[in-house]
Amino acid sequence: MQHLDLQVVRRALEWSTAGQRIWLCTVLTTYGSAPRAPGSLLAVNDGGQWIGSLSGGCVEEDFLERVAEGAFLDAINVVRYGEGDDPRSRVSLPCGGILDVLVEKFDASCDVQAHLRELESALLGQRRLIREVDLTTGARSLFADREQGARIEREIDRVRIRIGAAQRLLLAGYSSVAQACAEFAVGLGFEVILCDPRDEVLEGVVLNGVEIRRQLPSVFIADGGCHRDTAVVALTHDPRIDDLAMMEAVRTEAFYIGVMGSQQTSQKRFERLRRIGGLGGSELARIHAPIGLNLGSKTPAEIALAVLADILRIRSGIARDQL
């Protein structure tokens, strides 16, 4: 499944290549109730066609009306929707929500198309980028993103936007905890893939919005199933699945790798991974075991909450001692 940002960038590239002017809109910040997260994209062409989403619909309708009226002819604008005194905002959001939107006008050019192709490459997982935009001039630059952090970093005169593939959660094996993790992750906007070769375990399993692959997770990982925006979690208590997944995961750029088990179980697992898998200290240090935040979790849903909370912590670049 292509995530929406990739669809937006590809359509914008098609329009620009066809000689059309486009506006690329990015959610910068949200306050209160807001249906779309910072970094979400919307693209509009000068014919009124659009793709993407900024809100539940009211912001999109207002923006399209403004474009049709000839607004947003400057290279760059930042518009606040919702509460506030921005004269360009004519929309009140539900529950007092506020939405700041970056609006960039792109006339058709080779430079614009090259910029969009770079974004497409990043969204396909080939590399992570930081897109820096000067809020005064509209000047754009791209540079490599080498660490996890907030998707949007805003200063007075510029904004930095992290661009990468859809956040992926790879579940190594099915269990009740894996099911709860999948349900949470889908709600959080992750692309979720479950790998398990055991037909008897997967019999009758239905997970909406989840891609189920009947193969060893380690095989899927070895075949390129992970990119830098992937979290790999093993939750079966079956070393034939969990250990093999860990051996392959540490050879990838996955930003989070974790496996379920007690402290004692985790120590025994690390001993096996050293002895059988040949993993060294730096590789073992990448594995979160026991997995998740210590929330005193007992039930599958509680454990899944602890796992996803830890993944989100790492994704946002927050140290444990900052919690």
Q: Tell me the three state secondary structure of residue 188.
A: coil
Q: Is 98 in the same domain as 188?
A: no
Place of tokens 């998740």: 292
CA–CA gap between residue 224 and residue 37 (Å, rounded): 28
Domain shared by 9 and 112, yes or no: yes
Residue 150 shares a structural domain with residue 238: no
What is the pLDDT at residue 1? 41
Q: Are residues 159 and 172 in the same domain?
A: no
Full domain range(s) for residue 224: 168-322
Q: What does the pLDDT profile of the chain (323 residues) look like in tens digits?
A: 447 888 999 999 999 999 999 999 999 988 765 567 788 899 999 999 999 988 766 778 888 888 888 888 899 999 888 765 555 556 555 556 788 899 999 999 999 999 999 999 998 877 889 999 999 999 999 999 887 778 899 999 999 999 987 789 999 999 999 999 999 999 888 889 999 999 999 999 999 999 999 999 999 999 999 988 899 999 998 999 999 999 999 999 999 999 999 999 999 999 999 999 999 999 999 999 999 999 999 999 999 999 999 999 998 888 887 87
Are 35 and 176 part of one and the same domain? no
Dihedrals phi, psi of 52, to nearest 5 degrees: 110, -170
At residue 65, the pLDDT reads 86
- Which of these three, 163, 179, 199, is where a domain ends? 163
pLDDT of residue 322: 82
Same domain, 183 and 157: no
Do 190 and 154 have their domain in common? no
Is residue 294 exposed (0-12), middle (13-18) or buried (19+ Cβ within 10 Å)? exposed
Q: Domain tally for the chain?
A: 2
CATH number where 198 lies = 3.40.50.720
DSSP string, 296-313: ---SHHHHHHHHHHHHHH
The answer on 228 and 275 residing in a single domain is yes
Is pTM beyond 0.85? Reply is no
Distance CA 123, CA 142 (A): 14
Amino acid identity at 198: R
Could you tell me if 187 and 153 lie in one domain?
Answer: no
Task: Note the pLDDT of residue 87.
Answer: 56
Cα-flanking dihedrals φ and ψ of residue 177, to 5°? Answer: -70, -40
| pLDDT computed for residue 205 by the predictor | 93
Q: Of 141, 163, 185, which closes a domain?
A: 163
Q: Are residues 175 and 159 in the same domain?
A: no
Give me 220's structure tokens. 């899927």
* Residues 262-314 pLDDT 10s: 999 999 999 999 999 999 999 999 999 999 999 999 999 999 999 999 999 99
What the block records as the tokens of 122 is: 């990043």
Identify the domain boundary among 147, 163, 179. Answer: 163
3-state helix, strand, coil split of the chain in percent (to 5) is 35, 25, 40
Type and span of the H or E element at 241: helix 239-249
